[in-house]
Structure 1
Amino acid sequence: MFKLRDYQQETIDNIYQSMRYGNHRIVVQQPPRTGKTVIMAEIARRATRRGNRIMFLIHRKEVLAQAIATFKAQGVDMDLATMGMVQTLTRRIDNLSTPQVILVDESHHSLAKSYLRILKTFPEAYVLYFTATPVRTGHKQMDLISDDLIPGKSIKWLTEHGFLAPFKYYGLGDIDRSKLRKANGDYTNSSMDEALSHQIYGHIVQQYQRLAKGKQAVVYCHSIESAKEVAAKFKQANISAVELDGETPAKKRDEIVEKFRKQKITILVNVNLFTEGIDLPNVDCVIMARPTSSLALYLQFSMRCLNPRKGKTAIIIDHVDNFLTFGLPNSDRDWNKAIQTRDKRKKKPNTGGPAICQCKYCFGIFYRADMQNNSCPLCGHKLESERKDYKVVNVDLQEIKANEAIKHRKAMVNKILSDQVVANVADKSPGQLNTVAELKAYAELHHYKKGWWYYVAKKKGLIR
């Protein structure tokens, strides 16, 4: 039986309080990696202990298997539980026992007809909609099917209290976002093919080695072809990598995932598999090689590596500038406003948000408020004299036009990739440079005046 964390118990208390106020259909927001399945299992245990029937709905087989195991471990009376994929249960609607409580996982999908058919069949049941992101990519939002929303703790709070790992976020920008086109709520594969730089596959490996070398990583790609190309590039660099996608046989997929959990595989490259619910505890790095217009997908991608461990700092590498659309994973979000259905004719208000900076030296992304002494909090480089060269954006910005800062950044990426010595010094400060070659590379990378490297080398005693 799982021992509830304080914030999980607080969420359960808030759910029962909402029920006492007369609410029957309640959205429960919990960030990824915070144990919402355990919360659902505890509610199911309490309900079945009183002789009430429960129903659990999900749309993915892998998540269902994990949920059943969690419910059993929590002591749920499984004779009073109906747990299944919505695709299956909607076909058996006439044979289902009437539940008193319905638990809907990943409920941002619940406006689909298959979900609504089940929910409308049992109008007297309490319905608890669990999701990390109670906002949908379409026009209709969850206020159409709910009475109340219970937000979970913020990602910042969870990180400060040790329930999520801290992270460093880097943006490489191997994409022309002006070429992206939407269909069915997200970018089309053809537009992603057109938008992504042909150099991205080599960049992915090079930047992994620079920023997260040796860490277990999950790479998110937009197509099977791109995923196979990325896996091949890692293998060429003698880094163990495996590609998985929807066409991978289930048995082989399970075997590969188990090897990854046992740390026998370093890089797991996937296409739309490791988003919702799948437990991968050893991930210390996430690499986004596909753009998305879905906040749900973005948070599932970026937070995959935030399982905490003593001394751990996760690394998020964003090759497609998803942060321009969504900000950082720990941005504050108004979920009550997010679930409100808006009139299509009304423009979404520009709410601004905390300014985000990008360091032109290490490509790190951070809140401007986190700067100390006008220095990058990730690499320590002084930015005071280069204010015009680092980029500041708002978290709700949808597209960014090419400017000198971006051109400069891309030029630096190319230089890093062409010179390994430069790569070794790119994320260091002058005080961390220990050889004449490193000083020369550092001076070249940052366009320092001739003689700088000689002066510093002499001061360090590297030359006489």
Structure 2
Amino acid sequence: MELRPYQQEAKQAVLNEWGKGILKTLLVLVTGGGKTIVFSKITEECVRNGERVLILAHRGELLDQAADKLKKATNLGCATEKAEESCIGSWFRVVVGSVQSLMREKRLNQFPKDYFNTIIIDEAHHCLSDGYQRVLSHFNEAKVLGVTATPDRGDMRNLGQFFESLAYEYTLPRAIKEGFLCPIKAQTIPLKLDLSGVSVQAGDFKNGDLGNALEPYLESIADEMLKCCTDHKTVVFLPLIKTSQKFKDILNKKGFRAAEVNGNSQDREQVLADFDSGKYNVICNSMLLTEGWDCPSVDCIVVLRPTKIRSLYVQMVGRGTRLHSGKDHLLLLDFLWHTERHELCHPAALICESEEVAKKMTENIEAAGCPVDIEAAEKQAADDVVAQREEALAKKLAEMKNRKRKLVDPLQFEMSIQAEDLASYVPAFGWEMGPPSDKQIKTLEKLGIFPDEIESAGKATKLLERLDKRRNEGLTTPKQIRFLEGRGFQHVGTWQFEGAKSLIDRIAANGWRVPNEINPSEYKPTQIEQPLGWEI
């Protein structure tokens, strides 16, 4: 089985991390990106090197899926460590293991600590639980790869306590752009659902309270679905089994062909097969189908289980992002949840790194009143936020003109070079969260950045890397940006070094005044020959 280009990049990135001595690394591939195929190929590489590999997961479906994909992708068989099955004595070099079984002390102690050379954790955002940590602590000399599709920022901060690096990340926007996942169109349904009385447990809404809060709205929600879902193959996520069953009955009365599955369904596989074949056009479930189930023909997702946890939201939406013949987009229905205490996940959570952009994107989609492509919506929201920031920055620059400081404010630098990634950066791993080192502070000051507003070593590292890259590309220095933007010139960070230097020389020759023939707000530097390098 041939890997896609990004899958090959991901595999090589993981091997490179291990080769550098970083034994605990993380791989993030968007839902539908083929993470099982990638870690199957990594497993094959390990076996080729004579290693014994444990693939660890928390659900039987994930273990079965891993064993099946491993066989198809590499022709490797595997043993199983789950319930009554044991891998001890097996000649297979690969084991798929249930964390619930392996975590038991009596079972775990049957294995020497060096029994496995490599451990691969599927759905690695679960791996900080006590059960996983017990297993990982036992095999503490093994290389570890965590694979997940859904690390939200909170997860990444937490996962950074265990993993030492992020080897590779393949995002939803990139997958859509490169044609490996289908575009998503989001539509806000103008139905206000009151959740103000719902209590919170473990950082999210309690399912029981959600089910009760949702019931009065089920008829209205079904009516709204009649307006936009009748020609779609739809998955509906609900908080409780009883709510899911009730909603199925309501949908059938409205003319849908709806079915329902839950953890107690004896005929679950048959119902899902019938949905896949077209017997049903809606499948309702109480959070059963978030992981380990694929039906590429799904082209509509209805999230009636509101959540503030991005990883859960992404898993739900991910059930509909795979490509399928005749499917040109996924329709994602978003609801106006009213809650006084918590910011809930909306379609913007799928694509936005910045909370500021996400908030603006959610407002824009709500105002549109029709399906909106989320990539176009994100770009528009980002442009809106940049315009707002530039307005705020103009006021800040006006204040800065009166200061004697010769260093450039980090925000001014980021906005000038149009670096949204720097402006929205959030530290993830442990080392990134610490304060900048004395060496970083001194280097930033020397290069013209005011360091007092840089709170983390990770942000300092990102800035220094960007400054080094800009120097190599012959772009403007922070001090040039500070000097020229302080005199009204725009986006000096996008200019070549030599163009800025030539203009500063003209201003210096004019007694440090901008020549009358130059309008700073409209000025564009002329093309300069090959830049010679940075200087002040």
* Structure-2-length-normalised TM-score: 0.61
Judge conservation of contact 1:108–1:135 (CA < 8 Å) in 2.
Answer: no
User: How far did residue 193 of structure 1 move?
Assistant: 3.7
Q: Output the CA distance in 2 between the equivalents of 1:266 and 1:369.
A: 33
Separation (CA, whole Å) in 1 of partners of 2:148 and 2:156: 18
Counterpart of 2:250, as a letter, is K
Seen in structure 2, the aligned counterparts of structure 1 residues 359 and 138 have a Cα distance that, compared at 3 Å, is closer
- TM-aligned CA distance change 1:76 to 1:329, over 3 Å: farther
Structure 2 unpaired stretches of 5+? 79-91, 385-423, 425-536
Alignment-derived partner of residue 247 in structure 2: 230
For residue 268 of structure 2, give the secondary structure of its aligned residue in structure 1. helix
Matching residue of 1:381: none
- Distance of 2:280 and 2:27 partners within structure 1: 35
C-alpha distance in 2 between matches for 1:33 and 1:329: 17
- RMSD over aligned CA atoms reads 2.7
Specify whether residues 47 and 139 from structure 1 end up closer, same or farther in structure 2 by C-alpha distance, changes over 3 A only: closer
Kindly indicate whether the alpha-carbon contact (under 8 Å) linking 1:175 and 1:197 is maintained by their aligned counterparts in 2: no
Distance 1:195 1:273 in 2: 20
Matched, 1:13 2:17: no
- 1:355-409 CA-to-partner distances (Å, cap 9, x unmatched) read 21134463546527449xx9xxxxxxxxxxxxxxxxxxxx9xxxxxxxxxxxxxx
CA distance in 2, matches of 1:118, 1:136: 25
CA drift at 1:354: 6.6
**Amino acid paired to 1:57:** L
Matched, 1:26 2:48: no
Q: Which residue matches 1:319? A: 335
Return the match for 1:278 from 293, 309, 313.
Answer: 293
| 2:221 match | 204
Q: Distance in 2 between matches of 1:231 and 1:102?
A: 41
Q: Give the secondary structure class of the aligned counterpart of 2:324.
A: coil
Note if contact 2:31-2:149 (Cα within 8 Å) is conserved in structure 1. Answer: yes
Question: Which residue is equivalent to 1:56?
Answer: 55
| Contact 1:170–1:317 (Cα < 8 Å) also in 2 | yes
The percentage of counterpart residues that share the same residue type is 25
| Alpha-carbon spacing, 1:255–1:309, altered in 2? closer, same or farther (3 Å) | closer
Does 1 or 2 have the higher relative contact order (CA < 8 Å, sep 6+)? 1
Map of 1:242 onto structure 2: 259
Check 1:217–1:247 CA distance in 2 against 1; reply closer, same or farther (3 A cut).
Answer: same
Give the distance between the partners of 2:122 and 2:157, measured in 1 at CA. Answer: 19
Instruction: Output the amino acid matched with 2:41.
Output: E
Structure 2 CA distance, aligned partners of 1:160 and 1:369?
13
Q: Aligned equivalents of 2:184 and 2:157: distance in 1?
A: 33
Count of aligned positions: 354
Question: Which residue type is aligned with residue 355 of structure 1?
Answer: K
Q: TM-score, normalised by structure 1?
A: 0.70
Q: Which residue of 2 aligns with 1:417?
A: none
Question: Which of residues 165, 170, 180 is equivalent to 2:198?
Answer: 180
**Per-residue deviation, 1:329:** 4.9
| 1:162 matched residue in structure 2 | 179
Report SS of the residue matched to 1:325.
coil
Structure 1 CA distance, aligned partners of 2:55 and 2:109? 17
Map 1:248-263; keep pairs closer than 5 Å: 248-249=265-266, 252-263=267-278
Identify the residue that residue 135 of structure 2 maps to in structure 1.
118
Residue segments in structure 1 that go unaligned for 5+ positions in a row:
335-349, 375-394, 396-464
Deviations 1:396-447 (A, max 9, x none): xxxxxxxxxxxxxxxxxxxxxxxxxxxxxxxxxxxxxxxxxxxxxxxxxxxx
**Aligned residue identity for 2:311:** A
In 2, the alpha carbon distance for the partners of 1:217 and 1:167 equals 14
In 2, Cα distance between the equivalents of 1:166 and 1:102?
34
Cα offset for 1:309?
2.9
1:70-149 equivalence runs, <5 A: 70-74=69-73, 75-78=75-78, 79-91=92-104, 92-96=107-111, 98-135=115-152, 141-149=158-166
In 2, Cα distance between equivalents of 1:13 and 1:292 = 35
CA distance in 1, matches of 2:302, 2:347: 16
| Contact 1:47/1:54 (8 A) holds in 2 | yes
Paired residue secondary structure (1:243): strand
Distance 1:368 1:155, change over 3 A: closer
2:302 is matched with 287
3-state SS in 2 of match to 1:162? coil
CA contact (8 A) 2:53 2:94 kept: yes
1:328 counterpart = 2:348? yes
Cα contact 1:303–1:329 (8 A) shared by 2: no
Q: Distance in 2 between matches of 1:117 and 1:246?
A: 27
Q: How does 1:351-362 map to 2 (within 5 A)?
A: 353=358, 355-356=360-361, 357-360=364-367, 362=369
Map Cα deviations across residues 88-147 of structure 1 (whole Å, 9 max, x no partner).
122221234611110001111111111011101111111001111234868971111111
Q: Which residue of 2 aligns with 1:65?
A: 64
Relative to structure 1, the CA distance from residue 327 to residue 168 in structure 2 (aligned partners, 3 Å threshold; closer, same or farther) is: closer
Q: Distance in 1 between matches of 2:126 and 2:332?
A: 26
SS at match of 1:309: coil
User: 1:240·1:266 contact (CA, 8 Å) conserved in 2?
Assistant: yes
Residue 204 of structure 1, CA deviation: 3.1
For residue 279 of structure 1, give the secondary structure of its aligned residue in structure 2: coil
Q: Is the Cα contact below 8 Å between 1:235 and 1:241 reproduced in 2?
A: yes
Distance 1:18 1:181, change over 3 A: same
SS in 2 for 1:27: strand
- Which is helix-richer, 1 or 2? 2
Paired residue type of 1:8: Q
Distance in 2 (alpha carbons) for counterparts of 1:293 and 1:121: 34
Which residues in structure 2 correspond to 1:374-385 (within 5 Å)?
none
Counterpart contact for 2:290–2:316, Cα < 8 Å: yes
Distance 1:149 1:309, change over 3 A: same
Q: Aligned equivalents of 1:329 and 1:265: distance in 2?
A: 30
Report the AA paired with residue 176 of structure 1: D
